[in-house]
Structure 1
Amino acid sequence: MDMSDNSSPATQGGAGQPREKFASRIGFILISAGCAIGLGNVWRFPYVTGEYGGAAFVLLYLVFLAILGLPILVMEFAVGRASQKSCARSFDILEPKGTKWHWYKWFAFAGNYILMMFYTTVAGWMVAYAFKTAAGELNGVAPDATGEVFAAMQADPLQMFLWMLLICVIGFGICGMGLQKGVERITSVMMACLFVAIVILAVNSVLLPGSGEGLRFYLMPDFGKMIENGFGDAVYAAMGQAFFTLSIGASGMAIFGSYIDRDRRLTGEAVSVAGLSTMISLLAGLIIFPACFAFGVNPDSGPNLVFVTLPSVFNQMWLGQLWGALFFVFMSFAALSTVIGVFENIIAFTMDQWNVSRRRAVAINAVGIIVLSIPCILGFNLWSGFQVPGIGDIQSLEDFIVSNNILPLGGLFYVIFCTSRYGWGWKNFINEADAGKGMKFASWSYVWIKYCIPVLMVVIFVMGYLPKFQIWLGLA
């Protein structure tokens, strides 16, 4: 067993310049969960679940959360807390002298940027639909015409740019206020509102007449449906969804580890964060699938499920305008919580890497994100002819790069770094993870984490690419 100890001052709790801290433990949990809870839970999870047959996919997703997501989440928290830095400097501090683990930071930084290049656009759709629904713009629209409303918005690059710009202004504005006064205070309020809204919506959906078939689709596993849609694709999608849901693999959670003290063990904190994130995903399914089946709507309509399928469902509901507006406000809060979390990671990286003030880091990255988000917008209209075989348009390509490549490969990097004698080492990781009170990390899991997880991830990664290679080579 590798129990090497690549010692450094940071290994014993961090050293260096004073760092901002969360005001409370609940603030850390809510903000970390807020970063994890986002469109991955309430937009991506339901439509991927619908595409791969419902409950069987949910079960597979939960397995990956437990055996892959949770250990890597603890590792991200541990690297952040031990170094007291973002990934811009964390690996420089923790790596053995003369090694090059710190090169990973550019991979992670790119991942955060590419994520925001399409995430801000989709988040803008949520805010747009909250306004459209509340204003009654979708009232009385025929079911087959809801797609035309969405298509009209996508065809208008100026409208989409303005909604994306609003998301960036809100997100960077909150981050510019600082960790406690901005990020922690506002995200905590948004999370509280989100939980209330999603519970109300889920209860309303489950109680709809005819919702039973949707509950069976969502809660009773049928692996035959999954196999029909491609078991390898489903496994690949479930792994990617587990990483996307928890925002792990691109140091999206490590930054929050750098903001907390060593009075609590990290496994318990990771379980709390993962539990809240998973609960939101499952509740989102309870909103969508019973409602779809209650009104005879197809649940496997892909990324357009939320914007095309659900508005027609709300139109048929009693008080549908109210439920629809509440749903998209909830979606907007979920999206903004992740935007704020990832923006904070990007800002902290800039501050640590180039030693600039928070205000300057906000200004630089706000311009960068806004400009680089434009291709995603244009991909739905002026550049709609750009299509990658087996993947899709610009937004689909950016999502594929992040969800199916950067996040799982980044997660694999954390596993190797925290278990290898040539990296930080298992002993240092366990010491950091188990500092404080609470749930201890399962030290018996060393063999599983060091050897089995990398093999499993590589196998799944290859499985996911095989169908695409067949398409690219003209074999499918």
Structure 2
Amino acid sequence: MQKKEQWATKFGFILSSAGAAIGLGAIWKFPYMTGMNGGGAFFLLFILFTILIGLPILIAEFIIGRGSQKEAVGAYRALAPGSHWSFVGKWGVVGAFILMSFYSVVGGWVLIYSILSIIGSVIRDQADYAALFMTVTESPWITITGFALFMLINIIVISFGIKDGIEKSSKILMPLLFIFFIVLVIRALTFEGAAEGLRFFLQPDFSQLNAEAVLYALGQSFFSLAVGISVMVTYSSYLDKKASLPSAAVSVSIMNIFVSLLAGLAIFPIVFSFGLKPTEGPGLLFMVLPEAFAQMPFGELFLSLFFLLFLFAVLTSSFSMLEIITATFTEGKKQRSRKHVAWIAGFLVFLAGIPAALSSSSLADFHIFKYTVFDASDFLVSNIMLPVGCFMIALFIIFKLDRTFMETEFLAGNRLSPAVFQMWYQLMRWLVPVTIIIVLLSSTGIIGNNN
């Protein structure tokens, strides 16, 4: 059997895992979800869910992946042979497939904006940035072309594997993203009216919350950490036994919260300074940032640099989705080439994503219940598949996985006390599943009042 590929360094694994988490979730989706769900109260719930629910599940996925040394489906088969628990991994692969099908549509938008900003067609040629966003998203050919190019980049990188593809790109791009975001925050805070944006983002107003908003906050914490679809099971399967899983998980979670904080500190001061509405929705980022950069010296240059780094952050997340699909159908199968499977998987994702890509144009009037195909895919993954996936992982930890095995993996590579493992285990046993059940039932109106 071919030797399993591994991350070159623990730092590379952490950055790659952070890259899987930090992308559209933190930079694109978090600001507009926060804007539509009450600002500071949503942000506080997001932090609490990330620390108390998302982080324990992230550690659980790391334990399952590193402990089994298998990809998403194979991990559950190896740890629970002869059972039906591999369904958890299959659920994750399907979730990653659906997620990537609409995620890559937005990735295509970012790619198009990157190109337009480089050639100077955003700030220089535009005064109405909302109109530009509508042009990009409502033109079938522009959207499909961006989507196709974005998928092509993913396929090429995943074809090269872990060390030469994902890890090398993450080591360069993630630090650059952090640095540039800090520069953007500093500039945003100098705008007149920035204080109002800060109050909206950092001052909780719990009167704006309802059960649906709480569900969105929980889903956002899962979406931004990439947990619930066993992406992190696959990533951690490439990690050696010397690395500390809890410290790696904490590092990824802190970086994710930090980037979400930076996104809010950059976006909301600009939104209020220019009299825009924080409830603009998915187009918020694409309409707000050009306004800000247009007021800066060398604005077009900085805008193009930001969109390029944003593109790279989006790519590092999408790499993880295509990786889980590719690894599932190649690991342990000598007759299947990674490159061959990556191309097939990428093409199938592209075909599946076409309806989502056309949701603002040709299929704008087609709705699944009250949602367009794009919004329905987003709701399905973020608010159903991710929470349910996390719930099933918690059940696997509680009822199937050997406790001694988990403690060994948890404590390997660190000096943590067994009491820390006990605290994590109790969170997974009680708080995580109970919270997910309550939030899901509340959001559907089965319990409580969803007004």
Give the TM-score normalised by structure 2: 0.94
Residue in 1 aligned with 2:120?
Answer: 136
Structure 1 letter corresponding to 2:39: G
- The separation in 2 between residues aligned to 1:389 and 1:147, in whole angstroms, is 27
Residue in 1 aligned with 2:219?
Answer: 240
Note if contact 2:57-2:428 (Cα within 8 Å) is conserved in structure 1.
no
- The separation in 2 between residues aligned to 1:311 and 1:141, in whole angstroms, is 11
- The separation in 2 between residues aligned to 1:456 and 1:425, in whole angstroms, is 23
Alignment partner of 1:263 is 2:242 = yes
Structure 2 letter corresponding to 1:349: T
Instruction: Please state how far the C-alpha of 1:412 moved relative to its aligned partner.
Output: 0.8
Once the two structures are superposed, residues 298-345 of structure 1 have per-residue CA deviations (whole angstroms, 9 ceiling, x without a partner) of 222111111234333433444432333233223212111101122222
- Give the counterpart of 1:435 among 399, 408, 412: 412
Residue in 2 aligned with 1:450?
Answer: 429
Once the two structures are superposed, residues 140-189 of structure 1 have per-residue CA deviations (whole angstroms, 9 ceiling, x without a partner) of 6676x322222122222121111111111111111111211111111211
- The separation in 1 between residues aligned to 2:242 and 2:414, in whole angstroms, is 6
Alignment partner of 1:295 is 2:279 = no
Note if contact 2:73-2:88 (Cα within 8 Å) is conserved in structure 1.
no
Aligned to 1:221, the other structure's residue is in SS state coil
| Residues 142 and 168 (structure 1), Cα distance of their counterparts in 2 relative to 1, 3 Å cut | closer
Instruction: Please state how far the C-alpha of 1:208 moved relative to its aligned partner.
Output: 2.5
1:155-234 to 2 correspondence within 5 Å? 155-224=138-207, 226-227=208-209, 231-234=210-213
Note if contact 1:88-1:352 (Cα within 8 Å) is conserved in structure 2.
no
Residue in 1 aligned with 2:318?
Answer: 339
Stretch deviating more after TM superposition (357-366 or 64-73): 357-366
Note if contact 2:410-2:421 (Cα within 8 Å) is conserved in structure 1.
no
- The separation in 1 between residues aligned to 2:332 and 2:96, in whole angstroms, is 15
| Residues 130 and 55 (structure 1), Cα distance of their counterparts in 2 relative to 1, 3 Å cut | same
Instruction: Please state how far the C-alpha of 1:353 moved relative to its aligned partner.
Output: 7.2
Alignment partner of 1:153 is 2:136 = yes
Give 5+ residue unaligned stretches, structure 2.
none
Instruction: Please state how far the C-alpha of 1:459 moved relative to its aligned partner.
Output: 1.1
Alignment partner of 1:62 is 2:39 = no
Note if contact 1:126-1:332 (Cα within 8 Å) is conserved in structure 2.
yes
Residue in 2 aligned with 1:372?
Answer: 352
- The separation in 1 between residues aligned to 2:291 and 2:395, in whole angstroms, is 47
- Give the counterpart of 1:24 among 3, 6, 9: 9
- The separation in 2 between residues aligned to 1:445 and 1:116, in whole angstroms, is 30
Note if contact 1:31-1:188 (Cα within 8 Å) is conserved in structure 2.
yes
Structure 2 letter corresponding to 1:28: F
Instruction: Please state how far the C-alpha of 1:430 moved relative to its aligned partner.
Output: 2.1
Note if contact 1:81-1:258 (Cα within 8 Å) is conserved in structure 2.
yes
Residue in 1 aligned with 2:366?
Answer: 386
- The separation in 2 between residues aligned to 1:260 and 1:288, in whole angstroms, is 36
Note if contact 1:120-1:168 (Cα within 8 Å) is conserved in structure 2.
yes
- The separation in 2 between residues aligned to 1:450 and 1:88, in whole angstroms, is 23
Alignment partner of 1:127 is 2:107 = no
Q: Give the root-mean-square deviation of aligned CA atoms.
A: 2.2
- The separation in 2 between residues aligned to 1:183 and 1:453, in whole angstroms, is 30
Instruction: Please state how far the C-alpha of 1:93 moved relative to its aligned partner.
Output: 0.5
**Could you tell me the percent identity over the aligned residues?**
33
- The separation in 2 between residues aligned to 1:121 and 1:197, in whole angstroms, is 24
Note if contact 1:268-1:438 (Cα within 8 Å) is conserved in structure 2.
no
Note if contact 1:201-1:323 (Cα within 8 Å) is conserved in structure 2.
no
- The separation in 1 between residues aligned to 2:332 and 2:319, in whole angstroms, is 20
- Give the counterpart of 1:285 among 261, 264, 269: 264
Instruction: Please state how far the C-alpha of 1:232 moved relative to its aligned partner.
Output: 0.9
Note if contact 2:51-2:253 (Cα within 8 Å) is conserved in structure 1.
no
Instruction: Please state how far the C-alpha of 1:116 moved relative to its aligned partner.
Output: 0.7
Stretch deviating more after TM superposition (84-93 or 435-444): 435-444
Note if contact 1:301-1:309 (Cα within 8 Å) is conserved in structure 2.
no
Instruction: Please state how far the C-alpha of 1:88 moved relative to its aligned partner.
Output: 2.2
| Residues 387 and 312 (structure 1), Cα distance of their counterparts in 2 relative to 1, 3 Å cut | farther
Note if contact 2:245-2:410 (Cα within 8 Å) is conserved in structure 1.
yes
| Residues 316 and 243 (structure 1), Cα distance of their counterparts in 2 relative to 1, 3 Å cut | same
Residue in 2 aligned with 1:86?
Answer: 71
Instruction: Please state how far the C-alpha of 1:376 moved relative to its aligned partner.
Output: 1.0
Note if contact 2:38-2:205 (Cα within 8 Å) is conserved in structure 1.
yes
Instruction: Please state how far the C-alpha of 1:198 moved relative to its aligned partner.
Output: 1.1
- The separation in 1 between residues aligned to 2:262 and 2:228, in whole angstroms, is 24
Once the two structures are superposed, residues 196-216 of structure 1 have per-residue CA deviations (whole angstroms, 9 ceiling, x without a partner) of 221111111122233122112
Instruction: Please state how far the C-alpha of 1:445 moved relative to its aligned partner.
Output: 4.3
- The separation in 1 between residues aligned to 2:389 and 2:240, in whole angstroms, is 25
- The separation in 1 between residues aligned to 2:123 and 2:413, in whole angstroms, is 54
Aligned to 1:99, the other structure's residue is in SS state coil
Note if contact 1:141-1:312 (Cα within 8 Å) is conserved in structure 2.
no
- Give the counterpart of 1:360 among 340, 360, 365: 340
Note if contact 1:262-1:435 (Cα within 8 Å) is conserved in structure 2.
yes
- The separation in 1 between residues aligned to 2:383 and 2:70, in whole angstroms, is 26
Instruction: Please state how far the C-alpha of 1:62 moved relative to its aligned partner.
Output: 0.4
- The separation in 1 between residues aligned to 2:162 and 2:357, in whole angstroms, is 30
Once the two structures are superposed, residues 439-472 of structure 1 have per-residue CA deviations (whole angstroms, 9 ceiling, x without a partner) of 45431343442133212111101222239xx99x
- Give the counterpart of 1:425 among 391, 402, 422: 402
Instruction: Please state how far the C-alpha of 1:17 moved relative to its aligned partner.
Output: 5.4
